[in-house]
């Protein structure tokens, strides 16, 4: 090469040496995770100042990678109990390296020969597990938000081309979902041009589920007002509380009305692999589309989502267009990924989950779901037996909302407890609002998290609560002693 810099960037020996050293460093981080803080919290301004100052300081990749790791949240820490993001199984991390080394796009078959084929195999297997029918299939896209948008767009396309056949006032199109559904449902609808009043949200019941009887009332009201419901979305489960809607009853209703039934299984659809918990997905056979995130409950690095369709060919109709330089003819051909997704040069992220199927089969996902769901139920029992804490719900899945209640203002105190916990860095949990009240929220996703860790979390939270109450009492007493 004419450039010494380019030669170094493509030097195989440097790549091998750095790569082996990096793997060694990551292995050490994994093995000693519990010896460091789960989150080395810095404010946004502090992070910006550090990385801005170091941007033009050149260094070797390994030194830079070590710095990034040191300053990042560590999902493999057993005290990580925060967002619904997978703790990646180690073989899937190696798959990520292969993906980026090959950098094969998937828009056309010649470039994405392996990726497009693996997608078909994995998606057909998932559809079979979910009992979606002989014509079912799907594809993989970048995240649940994009997957949801694709599924609901397909529902709209199906309604326009096959149900109404053009005889429709598009300003009257609407969807129905739960008020506990993920924000991406509303975002997808707005992106499609639906105004907010055409996104009908059914109030959840006391268990944070969409009540089918209430759904029917809202549907009938919408129809009586001239709206044309083209899609009903159920949660499997909801994001805030992890509770599953009644897919069976909702699905049967959708079928009786000829309405597209979409199940948002981004988090919880992998429960289908569990003999113990697959009943939570009873009714999946009625779904016209299901979204499932591999990077939530299937142990893979972000970001990779399956969009599963009862009729696989309908996604092609959604994105029908002319692009002769890519494809020779415009018909359904599964091997050309760009024909049925937004993305053309997308990464073959399916390799991550395929690697786990290849090495462990379905059993790894059954064991994982069973362990995390069981552990969350144990955590709920622990909280319910504690006089100073209370749960918002009994868990269906591995998500649990709870809070400290032995105080005058639980909303304020729990928010302060959570912030102190993050600043301290010893645990990572999040918070949510339910019916206007602030709750702490955990998602148990780490196979290394044990019962002793959740006991320690509760002890730590109780200590923080007492510390905050004591500080507030001291402040109040001090202010009373001040002269007017």
Residue 218 sits in a domain of what CATH number?
3.40.640.10
Distance CA 443, CA 84 (A): 6
Written as six digits, the tokens of 257 are 């009305």
Give every residue of the chain whose pLDDT is below 70, as ranges: 1, 166, 316, 318-332, 334-340, 342, 475-484
Q: Does 21 map to a domain?
A: no
Domain range enclosing 205: 98-360
CA distances in angstroms from 164 to 60, 156, 160, 173, listed in the order given? 60, 10, 5, 11
Distance CA 287, CA 90 (A): 33
Total domains in the chain come to 1
Cα–Cα nearest to 66, from 97, 25, 106, 125: 25
CB 230, CB 194: distance < 8 Å: no
pLDDT of 331: 52
pLDDT of 482: 44
Q: Does 400 map to a domain?
A: no
Distance CA 218, CA 334 (A): 38
Cα–Cα nearest to 327, from 315, 338, 341, 313: 338
Half-sphere exposure of 84 (CA within 13 A, CB side): 24
pLDDT of 478: 52
Distance CA 227, CA 432 (A): 32
Distance CA 413, CA 153 (A): 42
CB 202, CB 245: distance < 8 Å: no
Written as six digits, the tokens of 229 are 């419901």
Q: Edge-to-edge strands of the sheet including 389-391?
A: 389-391, 399-404, 437-443, 430-434
368: cis peptide before it, omega within 30°?
no
Q: Does 305 map to a domain?
A: yes
CA distances in angstroms from 222 to 155, 170, 198, listed in the order given? 18, 15, 9
Q: Does 65 map to a domain?
A: no
Written as six digits, the tokens of 85 are 């993001």
Task: Give me the helices (H) in 344-387, please.
Answer: 350-360, 363-384
Q: Does 310 map to a domain?
A: yes
Q: Does 484 map to a domain?
A: no
DSSP line for 281-338? GTTGGG-SEEEEEHHHHS---S--EEEEESSTTHHHHHT----TTT-SS-S--TT-GG
pLDDT of 334: 67
pLDDT of 326: 39
Task: Give me the helices (H) in 41-143, please.
Answer: 44-54, 61-70, 90-102, 113-129
Q: Does 440 map to a domain?
A: no
Q: Does 442 map to a domain?
A: no
- Which residues on adjacent β-strands are paired with residue 210? 204
């Amino acid at each position: 090469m004419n450039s010494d810099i380019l030669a170094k960037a493509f030097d195989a020996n440097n790549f091998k040496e750095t790569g082996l050293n990096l793997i060694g460093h990551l292995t050490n981080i994994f093995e000693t995770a519990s010896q460091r803080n789960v989150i080395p919290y810095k404010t946004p301004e502090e992070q910006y100042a550090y990385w801005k100052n170091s941007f033009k300081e050149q260094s070797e990749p390994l030194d830079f990678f070590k710095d990034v790791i040191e300053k990042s949240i560590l999902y493999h820490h057993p005290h990580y109990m925060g967002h619904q993001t997978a703790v990646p199984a180690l073989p899937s991390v190696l798959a990520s390296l292969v993906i980026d080394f090959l950098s094969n796009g998937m828009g056309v078959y010649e470039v994405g020969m392996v990726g497009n084929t693996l997608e078909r195999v994995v998606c057909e297997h998932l559809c079979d597990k979910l009992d979606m029918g002989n014509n079912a299939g799907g594809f993989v896209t970048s995240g649940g938000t994009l997957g949801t948008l694709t599924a609901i767009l397909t529902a709209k396309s199906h309604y326009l081309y096959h149900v109404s056949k053009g005889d429709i006032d598009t300003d009257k199109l609407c969807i129905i979902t739960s008020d506990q559904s993920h924000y991406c449902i509303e975002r997808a609808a707005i992106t499609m041009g639906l105004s907010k009043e055409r996104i009908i949200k059914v109030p959840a019941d006391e268990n944070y589920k969409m009540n089918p009887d209430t759904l029917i009332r809202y549907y009938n009201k919408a129809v009586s007002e001239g709206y044309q419901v083209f899609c009903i979305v159920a949660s499997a489960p909801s994001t805030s509380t992890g509770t599953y809607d009644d897919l069976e009853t909702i699905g049967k209703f959708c079928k009786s009305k000829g309405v597209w039934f979409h199940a948002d299984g981004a988090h919880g659809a992998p429960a289908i692999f569990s003999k113990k918990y697959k009943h939570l997905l009873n009714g999946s056979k009625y779904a016209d589309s299901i979204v499932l995130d591999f990077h939530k409950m299937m142990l893979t690095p972000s970001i990779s989502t399956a969009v599963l369709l009862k009729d696989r060919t309908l996604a092609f109709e959604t994105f029908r267009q002319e692009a002769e330089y890519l494809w020779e003819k415009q018909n359904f051909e599964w091997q050309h990924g760009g024909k049925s997704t937004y993305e053309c040069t997308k990464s073959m992220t399916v390799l991550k989950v395929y690697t786990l199927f290849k090495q462990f089969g379905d059993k790894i996902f059954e064991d994982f779901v069973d362990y995390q769901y069981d552990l969350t139920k144990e955590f709920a029992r622990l909280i319910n037996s504690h006089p100073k804490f209370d749960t918002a719900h009994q868990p269906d899945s591995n998500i649990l909302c709870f809070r400290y209640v032995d105080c005058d203002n639980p909303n304020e105190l729990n928010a302060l407890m959570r912030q102190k916990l993050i600043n301290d860095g010893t645990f990572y949990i999040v918070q949510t609002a339910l019916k206007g009240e602030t709750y702490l929220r955990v998602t148990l996703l780490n196979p290394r998290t044990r019962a002793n860790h959740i006991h320690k979390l509760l002890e730590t939270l109780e200590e923080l609560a007492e510390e905050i109450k004591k500080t507030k009492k001291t402040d109040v007493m001090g202010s009373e002693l001040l002269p007017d």
